[in-house]
Structure 1
Amino acid sequence: MKLLSAAIFLYSIAILSSWTVLGSSDFNVLDYGAIGNGKTDDSKAFLKAWNDVCGATEESPTLHVPDGKTYLLNPLKFQGPCKSKQVIFYLGGTLMAPTKDEWISDGKGQWIQFFDIEGLNLQGGGRFDGQGSLWWKDCDHKHCKRPTALFFHNCNGLQMKGMKHINSAKNHISINMCHDVIFSHLHISAPEDSPNTDGIDISESTNIFIEDSFMATGDDCIAINNGSSNININGITCGPGHGISIGSLGKDGEYNVVENVHVSNCLLRSTQNGIRIKTWEGGYGYAKNITFEKITMKNAKNPIIIDQYYSSYAYSRKMKGMDIKVSDVTYREVNGTSANEDAITFNCSQARCSNIILDNVNIKMTNPGEKAKAVCQNADGKVLSAVPPVSCLSKSH
């Protein structure tokens, strides 16, 4: 695991050192008819500019969105592949989604999509505004289909730095089937009571590095889902929200896997959960080789939790050993305060969580007059040092 983390870290430093300010060929959306008054639909102008950017043969062509303006964009897709090895999307102004009442009813599940683009580099101090308030108000979050704001599919070598993202109707950023990705210095926010407004969702992706970012949402700050591996998260401030989660895995009886995850140097404040692994009954697969270290939590409701009964599948598999297997999970230098007395929870299935290691873990109650405790079932591993004590795991001497 240490070798993996070092490799990802060195890879990230190499990529971050290559941030480009603007490409040699600049395509300004204003030259393609964009107005930027926040009222006129600028979608066609953006797509025209994108077609020229994507078709350019010069090195690092740039789609340039000037600052000082607000660009109203209806749902649109930036489609690759492009001719240049690196394409820059420079956002200086604000991109604004239509409100729910103005949304085009054509079944789109995303607001802005990027598909099949190698070397996509999003940069600048601009902002994405999902205008999600009417969606949150008018929809039952369990049954209402709402759009994800930014969706990246098959965008290898993706980089995104220094942008703000507010008030998505659903997930702020989702990546799917992307490899060698770096997100850095992002600011993502939505009200605490906004449903399902995850910060960053990852699925079927590898070699993902997320660093030095702030996330305050109504759901997971970061969610690591099926098919993801070699995920490195460092320097995240999270809260409010539901914390940093692996899963949920195994929904609807599916086979799901996640492995090689390293979360470090993070601060979680007043989150519903801290660092969490969540799986469904009836699913099968595994989550393994996971390390949480140098994590500080302040007033988290469930600071450390593995929940293998997150939800049930109605036609649950009854085959023995066909659960999600959780193994090789290390908590090192994890400290802070808990809003609930159950500061550490290992609620594992009959397949058992194995090789759970607690090393220098210290979580106390937010209220000094109360005492934190640990609860667990079906868990194996060892404790090097932990407060509160975790009696179900063996002590190392």
Structure 2
Amino acid sequence: MGGEWQVLGKMVAPADPNVWEKCGGFWLSFLSIQNLIMDGSGEIDGQGSSWWNAVQFNKCNNLQLSGLTLLNPPNAHIQIFGTNSAYLANLHLNAPEDSPNTDGIKIGASTYVQIHDSVIATGDDCIALLNGTNYINITNIACGPGHGISVGSLGGNGDYSVVEGVRVYNCSFNGTTNGARIKTYQGGRGYVRKIHFDKITLIAAQNPIIIDQNYNAHGNSNINQETSLEVSDVTYSGFEGTSADEQAITIACSASPGCLNITMYGNKITSSAPGKDVFASCNNAKGTSIDTVPIVPCLSSNSNVQL
């Protein structure tokens, strides 16, 4: 089963979610539709906080989504779960900077997803890659405002979580609260590996590069848990631009197993404030840093090092 669904005008969610009770908290929900094509030049307006989620695709293999504008989601603009093969392109996603939990594109338990040539301005992650998300290609995304492009959060409540095979290329972060971000909870299990952020433009972005293995969205105390997911084979290359924070690079890894084979090369991050310097903080990580500003203290500058 498949077909093409075109949006050419403007769709506006009902103000009262009680008149739309059968979709389980979603306004538009697509379940187990194979080869679905959704495109057009129209707009989808979620009307803000009246709804929990705007548009969900669940188990929609070979999905194509392009050309649309999505406005004012109550939660995520677009959610994709349990899907093998999806192509998203030429999307415009817009929500106020201060709107909570309004992820642009949220993906979980999905493989072989491509996201290209889109503009995302929102109050949370521009793109969030959750547990079970593998082999993702993200190219030519303008993110800002928002919380950057994030792997995670992962490992909450001690869960086993995995993300593998992500490439983020030729993207920009403009005034975002994070840039290239990996976030895991203490006490979680599993791994994040084979992640590559390449050719990234920074415009007064906070936390341009951040691995946070002490992530805590709800303020609960996990300070006695020293383990987290294993983060390995992560590469940052071709970052250029300005940081709104003095601490431009944060590699905050758990004591066990820590972060392994972290590679940085060809990065130049300066301060957005004239005359200010930037620095990097690094704990419990092993890897190499070559031709990178600022210097990352816990990574070796020897390009021949064997890890």
CA distance, structure 1, for counterparts of residue 171 and residue 40 of structure 2: 24
Q: What one-letter code is carried by the residue in structure 1 that aligns with 2:286?
A: D
CA RMSD for the aligned pairs?
1.9
- Which amino acid is the alignment partner of residue 174 of structure 2? R
Match of residue 94, structure 1, among 10, 13, 17: 10
Q: Which amino acid aligns with 2:98?
A: D
Is the 8 Å Cα contact of residues 110 and 133 (structure 2) preserved in structure 1? Answer: yes
Give me the whole-angstrom Cα distance separating, in 1, the residues matched to 2:180 and 2:164: 15
In 2, Cα distance between equivalents of 1:225 and 1:396: 34
Deviations 1:15-55 (A, max 9, x none): xxxxxxxxxxxxxxxxxxxxxxxxxxxxxxxxxxxxxxxxx
**Residue type of the alignment partner of 1:205:** S
Moved more, 271-280 or 306-315: 306-315
Q: Cα offset for 1:315?
A: 9.1
Q: Matches of residues 310-389 of structure 1 in structure 2 within 5 Å? A: 310-311=215-216, 323-350=228-255, 351-389=257-295
| Distance in 2 of aligned mates of 1:100 and 1:353 | 47
Is the alpha carbon distance of 1:107 and 1:92 closer, same or farther for their aligned partners in structure 2, counting shifts above 3 Å?
closer
**Does the C-alpha gap of structure 1 residues 345 and 102 become closer, same or farther in structure 2, counting only changes over 3 Å?**
same
Residue 390 of structure 1 corresponds to 296
Q: Secondary structure at the match of 1:156?
A: coil
1:61-140 to structure 2, matched below 5 A, reads 82=1, 86-100=2-16, 104=20, 108-132=24-48, 134-135=49-50
Deviation (angstroms), 1:107:
8.0
Pair 1:312–1:97, CA change in 2 (3 A): closer
**Separation (CA, whole Å) in 2 of partners of 1:167 and 1:120:** 24
Does structure 2 conserve the Cα–Cα contact (< 8 Å) formed by 1:282 and 1:312?
no
Distance 2:53 2:289 in 1: 41
Deviations 1:158-189 (A, max 9, x none): 00010000000100000000111000000000
The answer to whether the 8 Å contact 1:283/1:317 transfers is no
- Name the structure, 1 or 2, with higher relative contact order (CA <8 Å, separation 6+): 2
CA contact (8 A) 1:282 1:315 kept: no
Task: Find the residue that maps to 1:310 and give its secondary structure.
Answer: coil
Q: Distance in 1 between matches of 2:23 and 2:5?
A: 26
Amino acid at match of 1:393: L
Offset from partner CA, 1:122-163 (integer Å, 9 cap, x none): 01111110000x54xxxxxxxxxx511000000000000100
If the length of structure 1 is used for normalisation, what is the TM-score?
0.73
Please report how far the alpha carbon of residue 94 of structure 1 lies from its aligned counterpart in structure 2 after TM superposition.
Answer: 1.2
d(CA) in 2 for partners of 1:177, 1:317: 33
1:226 alignment partner AA: N
- Aligned identity (percent) is 46
- For residue 389 of structure 1, report the CA deviation from its aligned partner: 0.6
Structure with greater proportional strand content: 2
Going from structure 1 to structure 2, the CA distance change for 1:178 and 1:107 (only over 3 Å counts) comes to closer
CA displacement at 1:323 relative to structure 2 = 2.0
Partner of 2:60, secondary structure, is: coil
Contact 2:154 2:161 in 1 (8 A): yes
Higher alpha-carbon Rg: 1
| Offset, 1:396 | 2.2
Equivalent in the alignment of 1:158: 63
Match of 1:213 among 74, 93, 118: 118
Aligned letter for 2:5?
F
Aligned counterpart in structure 2 of residue 296 of structure 1, from 201, 212, 215: 201
TM-score (norm 2): 0.94
Deviation at 1:317? 11
Give the equivalent residue in structure 1 for 2:190. Answer: 285
SS at match of 1:382: strand
Give the whole-Å Cα distance in 1 for the aligned partners of 2:222 and 2:22. Answer: 35
Change (3 A) 1:358 1:180: same
Contact 2:184/2:228 (8 A) holds in 1 = no
Counterpart of 1:395, as a letter, is S
Q: Secondary structure at the match of 1:192?
A: coil
Instruction: Specify the code of the residue in structure 1 equivalent to 2:239.
Output: V
Letter matched to residue 281 of structure 1: Q
Give 5+ residue unaligned stretches, structure 2. none
Q: For residue 91 of structure 2, what is the aligned residue in structure 1?
A: 186
Structure-2 residue corresponding to 1:56: none
Contact 2:187 2:225 in 1 (8 A): no
Report the 3-state secondary structure (helix = DSSP H, G, I; strand = E; otherwise coil) of the residue aligned with 2:102. Answer: coil
Tell whether the 8 Å contact from 2:23 to 2:29 is kept in structure 1 after alignment: no
SS of 1:395's equivalent in the other structure is coil
The answer to whether the Cα contact below 8 Å between 1:205 and 1:228 also exists between their aligned partners in 2 is yes
Runs of 4+ in 1 over 2 A off after TM superposition: 100-108, 312-320
